[in-house]
Structure 1
């Protein structure tokens, strides 16, 4: 799903990557979906998504449309931790409820964007927690 990610004075661009801090490696194969809205009360518009590559990066997220004020990245992390074949999988202990995989099956990160700027928002991930920040 490749789109033009050229930043102009009226648009913003978004990128992300995921590092699995439990094993100190990029998280490969995680589905990431991007949505945008043009104001706090505006409805979310699904724009598409991508999957992290071997370096944990999504190189082809869609560009938010002109007028976007907020972006949401939805990370589907549970399959990454439950897939026995994933290269960077950690053998997480069982949850208290008897499940396995990730305590947080999905991570949704919402942030404000500024037209003309690039917004890089990395996800630091482990089976029982996560952290995000604005990168460069």
Structure 2
């Protein structure tokens, strides 16, 4: 299993958000961001296989998952108020699995640590 997984649910339409591009980056000591993975959500709003290679332990540190929501919202004829959403989180050492879901609507979003 991948150490990082996600899914996007469209709470305005009550369905998974298919086709949302997203990226995972690691923050470096100088504040810059290094790409780790890119993906697009599938028909279930999930990323097939997770966001990193199964068994790979990411180094402890801060990470950013960027969801590019503009095209998805526009394709659903929804207002594009948040064209992209950045979720920044900290991974401790140890390789534990983290699930970072996004609940999306035209004028709001929420996230949490899932299981």
Q: TM-score if structure 2 supplies the norm length? A: 0.85
Specify the alignment match of 2:21 in structure 1. Answer: 31
Which of structures 1 and 2 has the bigger CA Rg? Answer: 1
The Cα of 1:33 is off from its aligned counterpart by 0.4
Gaps of 5+ in 1: 6-12, 84-88, 93-100
Unaligned runs of 5+ in 2: none
Q: Structure 1 residue runs of 4+, over 2 Å off?
A: 62-68
1:70 and 1:26, CA in 2 relative to 1: closer, same or farther beyond 3 A? same
Alignment partner, residue 47 of structure 2:
58
- Residue of structure 2 equivalent to 1:16: 6
1:120-131 matched pairs, under 5 angstroms: 120-131=99-110
- Provide the residue aligned with 2:89 in structure 1: 111
Q: Higher strand share goes to which structure?
A: 2
**By how many angstroms is 1:67 displaced?**
2.4
- With the length of structure 1 as denominator, give the TM-score of the two structures: 0.73
